[in-house]
Amino acid sequence: MSYRILHPDSPSPLREGQLSINRRQLFGRSAGAVGVAALASLMGKESSATESFDAVRSRFPSYAPRAKRIIYLFQNGGPTHVDMFDNKPKLHELHGTPVPDQLIAGKRFSTMTGQAQGKLMLAPVEPFHQYGESGAWVSDLMPHTAKIVDDLCFLKGMHSDAINHAPAISFMLSGAQIPGRPTMGAWLNYGLGSECEDLPGFVVMTSVSKGTTCGQIFYDFYWGSGFLPSRFQGAKFRGSADPVLYLSNPDGVRPELRRAMLDDLADLNALKHAQAGDPEIQTRIAQYEMAYQMQTSVPELTDFSDEPDHILDMYGPQVREPGTFAYNCLMARRLAERDVRFIQVMHAGWDQHNTITTELYTQCVDTDQPSAALVRDLKMRGMLDDTLVVWGGEFGRTPFIQGNIDDRPRWGRDHHPYAFTLWMAGGGVKPGITYGASDEFGFNVAEGGVHVHDLQATILHLMGINHEALTYRFQGRYFRLTDVHGRVVDEILA
């Protein structure tokens, strides 16, 4: 068999000089050539999608964005709002008395609590003090966060529909309790595309405090693309030698040999394109080149040797250990510097069913300093203005006890979606304010309620997206992150 060239006007694939010109045309950085930036747009190529993603991106942002990127410090397990941020003196007064019936009427609790009737109220385990010019109350559990309160916007009227972890985390990140919908990072990259040429636009990192007994783990659907094409899903960076799966060359294949392989692939695939005429082949050539660039840029990203000691120290001692929350916070800043659009840092271990007086302390030590350091670090670099930092979990914890009030070492609190606290910083959010409040028991929202869909609408708004306009058609229906709900919380916009 021999080749039949279908396009007599195309360059002869058999002339090598011609071939390398093709390659230079594709990858060269010289003027007039299809440069590296164009490769990024090639990332958006689908083989046979129903809608053009370029067309989608041309609609966004809907208006000038306040934030260019998001770092979501997701506190997996349900941080106990009444012990950390939501100061309720009343709980001291009611400590050990049954929960008032009117608070629990008609409410669902986790089946572990079952009937909440008769459960005893539990006071916060540590004292609260006021900090900063804003006078925000913070528990002694979070001394570092206490120092940055004037940069933070506390939402104390958060509430959710879900009462168990996986559904509640899914709800927070994808707007639906059942896995299978795109998550926020996937939606944002679908709508806005990636700003970053050699890294994925949606990166996820996870950590768990050492010695935690809770079994919370991380599921791919927490950063899934749902029904959006899989390239929108979060790329999980692992706290190990190969932060991106399959990033390292096979043993013995040195970079120059890999380069030679890719050159051959590009030549031979260009030849194939000349024959077959399928534009997918050109995309494939570009994607291989992009893969090569990632192989270079990711190792640079994870090499902290260019960070001065005072920066490393600010994040705390764990920053030098890959896979810790502190390490991931510094990675988040480095990713933000490289214009990764959505950085999801997840930390598990907040599920204090019987560890309020024990593991909660470790949990706070592991997260308090790095979270505060990240905000300070971004601020020092002038990046806080266009970087939105969100800190919070999927729900709060019951103001009443789980366990025996006489057994202090085993005190716990169950899941509580009816009121909890979350903070945001930067990215167009008013600093040094508290929006919303729970009632005097920390039980229900008293004012300024922010539902999960409202938070999502607000985050999209800060990124310049009207949450009602960012839709994708699947199974005959237009889906969106906020389902059919969501209100932008104008009150917190700077």
Stretch that binds another protein, among 4-12, 58-66, 84-92, 368-376 (CB under 8 A): 4-12
For position 103 contacting another protein by CB under 8 A, the verdict is no
Q: What's the angle, vertex CA 468, arms to CA 59 and CA 383, rounded to 5? A: 65
Specify the residue, 166 or 433, whose C-beta has the smaller distance to another protein: 166
> Total binding residues for another protein by CB under 8 A?
95
74 lies in the site for another protein, by CB under 8 A: no
Q: Do 232 and 373 touch, CB atoms closer than 8 A?
A: no
Using CB under 8 A, which of the segments 61-69, 81-89, 174-182, 303-311 binds another protein? 174-182
Placement of tokens 């007064």 in the chain: 93
Interface with another protein, residue 102, by CB under 8 A? no
- Candidate segments 136-144, 213-221, 358-366, 432-440, binder of another protein by CB under 8 A: 213-221
DSSP letters, 192-240, are H--S-SSS-SEEEEEEE-TT--------GGGG--TTS-GGGSPEEPPSS
Q: Which of 17, 31, 48, 102 binds another protein (CB under 8 A)?
A: 48
Cβ closer to another protein: 400 or 423?
A: 400
Query: Which residues, 362 to 421, sit near another protein by CB under 8 A?
Result: 414-415
One DSSP character per residue, 384-438 reads GGGEEEEEEES-EE-SB-BS-TT-GGG-B--EE-SSEEEEEESTTBPTTEEE-EE
Site for another protein in 451-480 (CB under 8 A): 473, 475-477
Strand partners for 396: 416
Among 41, 62, 134, 164, binds another protein (CB under 8 A): 164
> Residue 473's closest CA among 226, 168, 170?
226
Q: Are 477 and 456 in contact (CB under 8 A)?
A: no
Among residues 35, 229, 432, 448, the one that binds another protein under rule CB under 8 A:
229
Q: How far is the CB of 175 from another protein (least distance, A)?
A: 15
Question: In this chain, which of 61, 143, 179, 432 binds another protein, going by CB under 8 A?
Answer: 179
- Our CA angle for 87, 91, 95, nearest 5°, is 150
Name the residue nearer to another protein (CB basis): 7 or 92: 7
Q: Where are the beta strands (DSSP E) in 220-295?
A: 235-236
Q: How far is the CB of 129 from another protein (least distance, A)?
A: 34
Assess 96 for contact with another protein (CB under 8 A): no
State the angle between helix axes of 279-302 and 255-276 in degrees (0 to 180), rounded to the nearest 10. 160
Residue (60 or 218) nearer to another protein, CB:
218
Task: Please list every residue from 13 through 32 that binds another protein, using CB under 8 A.
Answer: 13-14, 16
- The terminus-to-terminus CA distance of the chain in angstroms comes to 69
Quick check: 111 binds another protein (CB under 8 A)? yes
Site for another protein in 249-308 (CB under 8 A): 249-254, 256-258, 260-261, 264-265, 267-269, 271-273, 275-281, 283-284, 287-288, 290-291, 294-295
Say if residue 279 is preceded by a cis peptide, omega within 30 of 0: no
Among 34, 46, 147, 150, binds another protein (CB under 8 A): 46
